[in-house]
Amino acid sequence: MPCLEISIPKLSPDQKEKLVGRLTSDFEQYANYDVEAFGIRFYEYDVSESANAGKLWDGKTGKPYIHFKMLIPARTKSEKSKMIRAFTKSLTETLGNPDWAPVIYFIEPDDDSIGFGGKSLAEHKR
Protein backbone atom coordinates (compact mmCIF):
# COMPACT_ATOMS: atom_id res chain seq x y z
CA MET A 1 0.00 0.00 0.00
CA PRO A 2 1.47 3.37 -0.87
CA CYS A 3 2.23 5.29 2.27
CA LEU A 4 3.59 8.63 3.30
CA GLU A 5 5.76 8.89 6.41
CA ILE A 6 6.11 12.44 7.73
CA SER A 7 8.78 13.64 10.16
CA ILE A 8 7.57 16.98 11.54
CA PRO A 9 7.33 19.10 14.71
CA LYS A 10 4.38 18.19 16.93
CA LEU A 11 1.04 19.27 15.45
CA SER A 12 -2.41 19.65 16.95
CA PRO A 13 -5.03 17.01 16.08
CA ASP A 14 -6.87 19.66 14.03
CA GLN A 15 -3.73 20.49 12.02
CA LYS A 16 -3.11 16.78 11.37
CA GLU A 17 -6.70 16.20 10.28
CA LYS A 18 -6.54 19.10 7.81
CA LEU A 19 -3.14 18.02 6.51
CA VAL A 20 -4.27 14.40 6.08
CA GLY A 21 -7.27 15.59 4.04
CA ARG A 22 -5.15 17.74 1.75
CA LEU A 23 -2.38 15.16 1.28
CA THR A 24 -4.91 12.40 0.57
CA SER A 25 -6.56 14.58 -2.09
CA ASP A 26 -3.14 15.28 -3.61
CA PHE A 27 -2.35 11.57 -3.65
CA GLU A 28 -5.67 10.70 -5.27
CA GLN A 29 -5.18 13.32 -7.97
CA TYR A 30 -1.60 12.47 -8.96
CA ALA A 31 -0.81 8.86 -7.96
CA ASN A 32 -3.46 6.91 -9.90
CA TYR A 33 -4.53 4.77 -6.91
CA ASP A 34 -7.72 4.63 -4.87
CA VAL A 35 -7.45 6.47 -1.55
CA GLU A 36 -8.23 3.22 0.27
CA ALA A 37 -4.74 2.14 -0.76
CA PHE A 38 -3.06 5.16 0.91
CA GLY A 39 -1.76 5.50 4.47
CA ILE A 40 -0.05 8.34 6.33
CA ARG A 41 2.15 7.99 9.42
CA PHE A 42 3.34 10.97 11.49
CA TYR A 43 6.67 10.91 13.30
CA GLU A 44 6.49 14.02 15.47
CA TYR A 45 9.24 15.64 17.50
CA ASP A 46 9.70 18.42 20.03
CA VAL A 47 11.53 21.72 19.71
CA SER A 48 15.33 21.27 19.66
CA GLU A 49 15.05 17.78 18.14
CA SER A 50 15.85 18.87 14.58
CA ALA A 51 18.36 21.07 12.83
CA ASN A 52 18.46 22.75 9.45
CA ALA A 53 21.44 24.44 7.79
CA GLY A 54 23.61 23.70 10.83
CA LYS A 55 21.24 25.36 13.32
CA LEU A 56 19.24 23.60 15.98
CA TRP A 57 15.59 24.61 15.63
CA ASP A 58 14.38 26.52 18.70
CA GLY A 59 10.71 26.69 17.72
CA LYS A 60 10.84 30.44 17.12
CA THR A 61 13.45 31.30 14.53
CA GLY A 62 14.59 29.49 11.44
CA LYS A 63 12.83 26.37 10.34
CA PRO A 64 12.67 22.76 11.41
CA TYR A 65 13.88 19.89 9.26
CA ILE A 66 10.76 18.27 7.78
CA HIS A 67 10.83 15.27 5.51
CA PHE A 68 8.29 13.15 3.71
CA LYS A 69 9.12 9.60 2.71
CA MET A 70 6.72 8.37 0.03
CA LEU A 71 6.72 4.60 -0.46
CA ILE A 72 5.01 3.98 -3.77
CA PRO A 73 5.69 1.92 -6.89
CA ALA A 74 7.60 3.71 -9.63
CA ARG A 75 6.07 6.96 -10.81
CA THR A 76 6.98 9.02 -13.83
CA LYS A 77 9.13 12.10 -13.40
CA SER A 78 6.04 14.23 -14.14
CA GLU A 79 3.90 12.45 -11.52
CA LYS A 80 6.62 12.86 -8.89
CA SER A 81 7.07 16.54 -9.73
CA LYS A 82 3.33 17.13 -9.39
CA MET A 83 3.18 15.30 -6.06
CA ILE A 84 6.19 17.24 -4.75
CA ARG A 85 4.58 20.57 -5.64
CA ALA A 86 1.16 19.55 -4.29
CA PHE A 87 2.49 18.06 -1.02
CA THR A 88 4.66 21.12 -0.41
CA LYS A 89 1.76 23.49 -1.07
CA SER A 90 -0.58 21.48 1.16
CA LEU A 91 1.90 21.45 4.04
CA THR A 92 2.88 25.11 3.89
CA GLU A 93 -0.71 26.36 3.43
CA THR A 94 -2.21 24.08 6.08
CA LEU A 95 0.37 25.07 8.69
CA GLY A 96 0.65 28.70 7.56
CA ASN A 97 4.45 28.46 7.40
CA PRO A 98 5.64 29.12 3.84
CA ASP A 99 9.28 28.48 4.83
CA TRP A 100 8.54 24.98 6.10
CA ALA A 101 9.06 23.24 2.77
CA PRO A 102 9.71 19.53 3.29
CA VAL A 103 12.38 17.37 1.75
CA ILE A 104 10.49 14.64 -0.14
CA TYR A 105 11.93 11.22 -0.89
CA PHE A 106 10.36 8.60 -3.15
CA ILE A 107 11.06 4.94 -2.43
CA GLU A 108 9.71 2.94 -5.35
CA PRO A 109 9.22 -0.83 -5.03
CA ASP A 110 7.28 -2.53 -7.82
CA ASP A 111 3.49 -3.11 -7.59
CA ASP A 112 3.94 -6.79 -6.84
CA SER A 113 6.23 -6.11 -3.85
CA ILE A 114 3.48 -4.47 -1.77
CA GLY A 115 0.22 -6.03 -0.63
CA PHE A 116 -2.71 -5.30 1.65
CA GLY A 117 -6.19 -6.68 2.11
CA GLY A 118 -5.05 -10.00 0.66
CA LYS A 119 -4.16 -8.54 -2.76
CA SER A 120 -1.06 -7.10 -4.37
CA LEU A 121 -0.99 -3.40 -5.00
CA ALA A 122 -1.17 -4.15 -8.73
CA GLU A 123 -4.65 -5.55 -8.11
CA HIS A 124 -5.72 -2.34 -6.33
CA LYS A 125 -4.75 0.00 -9.19
CA ARG A 126 -7.50 1.98 -10.84
**Over the range 58-75, which residues count as b (16 or more CB within 10 Å of their CB) and which as e?**
eeeeebbbbebbbbbbeb
State how far the alpha carbon of 56 is from the alpha carbons of 5, 35, 47, in Å.
22, 36, 9
pLDDT value for 7? 97
pTM, entire model: 0.87
Please tell me the predicted confidence (pLDDT) of residue 126: 59
Ranges of the chain whose pLDDT falls below 70: 126
